[in-house]
Amino acid sequence: MNNIVTMKWLLARLYEPDLVIVDCRFALGKPESGRATYEESHIPRAVYLDLEKDLSSPITEHGGRHPLPDLDRLAQRLGQSGIQSSSRVVIYDDQGGAMASRLWWLLKYTGHEQAYVLDEGFTAWKNASYPVTDEQPVVIPVTYGINLKPDKLVRVDEVRKASQQGSKTLIDSREPRRYAGLEEPMDTKAGHIPGAVNYFWKGVLDDSGHWKDAEAIREHFSDIPQDAEIIVYCGSGVTACPNVLALEEAGYGNVKLYAGSWSDWISYEENPVATGGRITLPCPKQV
Please count the other Cβ atoms lying within 10 Å of the Cβ belonging to residue 142: 17
DSSP letters, 56-102, are SPPP-SSS-SSPPPPHHHHHHHHHHTT--TT-EEEEE-SSTTHHHHH
User: 24, 234, 241, 283: which one is catalytic?
Assistant: 234
CA atoms within 13 A on the CB side of 34: 24
Q: State how far the Cα of 18 lies from the Cα of 9, in Å rounded to an integer.
A: 15
Q: State how far the Cα of 228 lies from the Cα of 247, in Å rounded to an integer.
A: 11
**Closest C-alpha to 245, from 56, 109, 51:** 109
DSSP letters, 246-267, are HHHHTT---EEEESSHHHHHTT
E-state strands within the chain: 4-5, 19-23, 47-48, 88-92, 115-118, 153-154, 169-172, 197-198, 230-233, 255-258
241 counts as catalytic = no
Do residues 176 and 200 make contact, with C-beta atoms less than 8 angstroms apart?
yes
Q: Catalytic positions, please? A: 234
